[in-house]
Amino acid sequence: MIGKKIKKGDVGRFLSSLAGEYTVIGPVKHGSVFMFAEIDDEHPPVLDYPRTVLPVKKYLHPPRETMFEFRKGEFREMLPESRLAFFGLHICDINAIVRLDMAMASDPYYSARRGGMLIMGVECKPSEECFCKSMNADRLPHGVCDLFFREEGDGYIVYAGTEKGRKLLGSPLFHATDLAVTGISAECEEKKPLDYEKVWRSFARNHTNPLWDEMARLCLGCTNCTTVCPLCYCYDVADTSEVVPENSRRERFWDSCTLLNFATVAGGHKFRPNIKDRFRNIYTHKFKSFVDEFGLPACVGCGRCIVYCPAGINMRANLEKLEVG
Amino acid sequence: MNIYQPQKRTIMKVTELNYDTKVFRIKVSRGFTHQPGQFVELSVPGIGEAPISICSSPEEKGYIDLCIRRVGSVTNAVHKMTAGDAIYIRGPYGVGFPLDSIKGKDIVYLLGGLGLPPVRGHINYVLAHKEDFGRVTILYGARTPADLLFKHEFDDWKKRANFLVTVDAAKNPDGTPCHWDGCVGFGVALIDKLTYPIKDAVGIIVGPPVMYKFAIKRFKEAGMEDRQIYVSLERLMKCGVGKCQHCQINHKYCCLDGPVFNYAEVKELPEAI
Ligand SMILES: Cc1cc2nc3c(=O)[nH]c(=O)nc-3n(C[C@H](O)[C@H](O)[C@H](O)COP(=O)(O)OP(=O)(O)OC[C@H]3O[C@@H](n4cnc5c(N)ncnc54)[C@H](O)[C@@H]3O)c2cc1C
Ligand code: SF4
Ligand code: SF4
Ligand code: FES
């Protein structure tokens, strides 16, 4: 892959040139944290950031969205019209999009947003909570990232991973260089990466493992981890009515398997009555069922769940225990 | 086509079965096919969506029957509807009960409460093709005599199958005593009344969540192997198509891999039974 060079000062101009066609989203500083938000001159992207609180999921599969409006006796699908350009995504977050695609490709709302989307990645600065290597998510996936930015002196070397990206590199803001790369990966510091297949195998014997009691003991069932996770996509559906059913909407919104009523059926029977059952379910979906379904874990080791767990539960440490136990 | 798109249909007929349960006949195209045990997602605009089993036989064409108990918002709203009203469905979804693969075999149904409707289409298909199957036994239990469903079909089932009914208590739903000539006791105990061996039969179990463990145990004591037993499992379902994750039973989806499962397949599956 041969890259082109762009001066740091020109990145803003390049992004502005996209603003006609796209809503441009990037990491911005918000108090003490970083979040993805629309970027413009007043809200410039910050490229040296550990991780955002919420992942790209908040745009692709938003916290709340209208699926149908009920009008004139019909459910009318409300497909979103969006052209989103994401700038400054880390490799783990790009891998998370690839995995979310597997689960949600046939979902019309997700695909409508995903279809016209532009992905621009940036090199990350791994922190101690990162474990992308363990989750096979430390390399830039092939043919997904339109442009990838790597810091180089007073500018960035930019590589195109798609046809769309190659066209964008035609802009006069990019200059020729002869720097080439093969394979872009994160500098994750994990010394002894986990083997997610081993973790997967352990689920067969691990349902009654006393480890679950130990690990779930501190869990508050607060839903923080599932909210910030780029690969937790459970949702609930409800109709809302403005007095008359002729003006009703069918909406869906994020849900979480850590909540008691997530698996409660009519009549009140609860299939996962204890916090331990629900805590285990997060892991089972991520490291057993998702792997069964799609061949990879529903985790990219971004570390968000570790950073934002009020109980200090460390998913990576738990996986390490499960791997052997 | 949007995988969540509810299709507008018309209610052809409403039949009241008892104080809280009605059968809604819904017009569908003649090309609509289903396996007994499959379900549709039923919508009432402004109220919501709920999974409901198709209770008519796959041989009845041009309509499907849905037997609905009034328990919450959607089901109460449906109960207010009458013939000619519009209703919205999508599906059918899921895996139903086996038919072709169990031809020639004896069948024992063990059904509790609202477990009868999902199986009724299967029963009526099997009884309409009696020559293709072995002996058929239907064991059915409900809470009280007033809770018994499809009473108008009992005579027919008695004629064509070995049909036994029981109630948990000879009481009215409000707890006051009532007149009842029949058997009193839990449905599972009806297995004791069988007069022929069922060890080679296919066992079909559908009922409230608490019933399965006991029912399976009794079938196994009667000599059935795990793989002869089929169960239909209920879970909270939102999407019906493997997306929302509500119906997950560990690594199986109740909406895609079930609701009907072969017991051998879910025996080791934690949280299933
Ligand atoms: C595959 C399948 C097939 C089914 N087939 C049939 C069928 O043929 N006929 C039939 O009648 N039913 C059937 N059901 C059950 C049916 O789907 C539910 O009864 C239905 O979803 C209820 O919807 P509702 O909106 O009327 O009730 P809801 O308003 O959702 O309430 C249902 C009940 O649950 C309680 N409840 C609701 N929300 C909560 C909560 N958050 N916490 C605790 N309790 C709560 C309510 O108090 C009420 O008693 C089937 C279910 C499945 C999964
Ligand atoms: S963030 Fe921590 S405490 Fe909250 S549900 Fe997740 S694991 Fe439990
Ligand atoms: S489980 Fe935790 S580390 Fe893995 S992707 Fe989700 S938030 Fe990131
Ligand atoms: S009902 Fe949504 S995944 Fe099964």
For residue range B216-253, list pLDDT tens digits in order.
Answer: 999 999 999 999 999 999 889 999 999 999 999 888 99
Q: Please give the Cα distance from B150 to B166 (Å, whole number).
A: 14
Q: What is the pLDDT of residue B217?
A: 94
Q: Over 80: is that where the pLDDT of A1 sits?
A: no
pLDDT tier at A70, thresholds 50, 70, 90: very high
Mean pLDDT of chain A: 90
* Interchain contact B238–A (C-beta under 8 A): yes
Task: Please list every residue in chain A whose beta carbon sits closer than 8 Å to the beta carbon of residue B249.
Answer: 271
Pairing of strands B136-142, B162-167: parallel
Kindly report the length of chain B: 273
Lowest-pLDDT choice from A9-13, A162-166, A270-274, B146-150: A270-274
The mean-pLDDT minimum among A79-93, A266-280, A289-303, B248-262 falls in A266-280
Residue A58, pLDDT > 80, answer: yes
Share of chain A above pLDDT 70, in %: 98
**Is the pLDDT assigned to residue B34 strictly greater than 90?**
yes
Instruction: Please give the pLDDT value at position A325.
Output: 65
Nearest C-alpha neighbor of A103 from the set B95, B256, B50, B92: B256
Find which of B3, B52, B213, B246 to mutate to test the A interface (most A CBs within 10 Å of its CB). B246
Quote the crossing angle between the two packed helices A315-324 and A196-206, to the nearest 10°.
70
- Interval B74-119: pLDDT, tens: 999 999 999 999 999 999 999 999 999 999 999 999 999 999 999 9
Q: State which amino acid sits at residue A15.
A: L
- Choose, out of A57, A74, A249, the residue to mutate when testing the contact with B (most B CBs < 10 Å): A74
Determine phi and psi for B99, rounding to 5 degrees.
Answer: -125, -65
Is the pLDDT reported for residue A132 higher than 70? yes
Q: Which of A37-46, A205-214, B91-100 has the lowest mean pLDDT?
A: A205-214
Contact with chain A for residue B48, Cβ under 8 A: yes
From the CB of residue A180, how many other CB atoms can be counted at a distance below 10 Å? 10
Q: Does the ipTM exceed 0.90?
A: no
Q: How high is the pLDDT of residue A322? A: 86
- Using pLDDT thresholds of 50, 70 and 90, give the confidence band for residue A203: confident
Ligand number nearest CA of A55 is: 3
Is it true that the peptide bond before B259 is cis, omega within 30 degrees of 0?
Answer: yes
Q: Are A60 and A94 in contact (CB under 8 A)?
A: no
Encode pLDDT of A226-245 as tens digits. 999 999 999 999 999 877 76
pLDDT at position B153, please? 94
Cα of A232 to ligand 3 centre, how many Å?
8
Q: What is the mean pLDDT of chain B?
A: 94
Residues on chain B touching A80 (C-beta within 8 angstroms): none
CA distance B200 to chain A (A): 31
- Read off the pTM: 0.92
Mean pLDDT over residues A66-93, rounded? 94
Q: Provide the shortest C-alpha distance from residue B159 to chain A (in Å).
A: 34
Q: Would the pLDDT of A82 be above 90? A: no
Distance of alpha carbon A251 from alpha carbon B102, whole angstroms: 42
pLDDT per position as a tens digit, A93-107: 999 999 999 999 999
3-state secondary structure A142-163: CCCCCEEEEEECCEEEEEECCH
- Give the mean model confidence (pLDDT) for residues A163-192: 85
Burial of A152 (0-12, 13-18, 19+ CB in 10 A): middle
Is A265 in Cβ contact with B234 (below 8 Å)? yes
SS3 category, A119: strand
pLDDT grade for A205, boundaries at 50, 70 and 90: low
Q: How far is B238 from chain A (nearest CA, A)?
A: 6
Q: Residue A183 pLDDT > 80, yes or no?
A: no
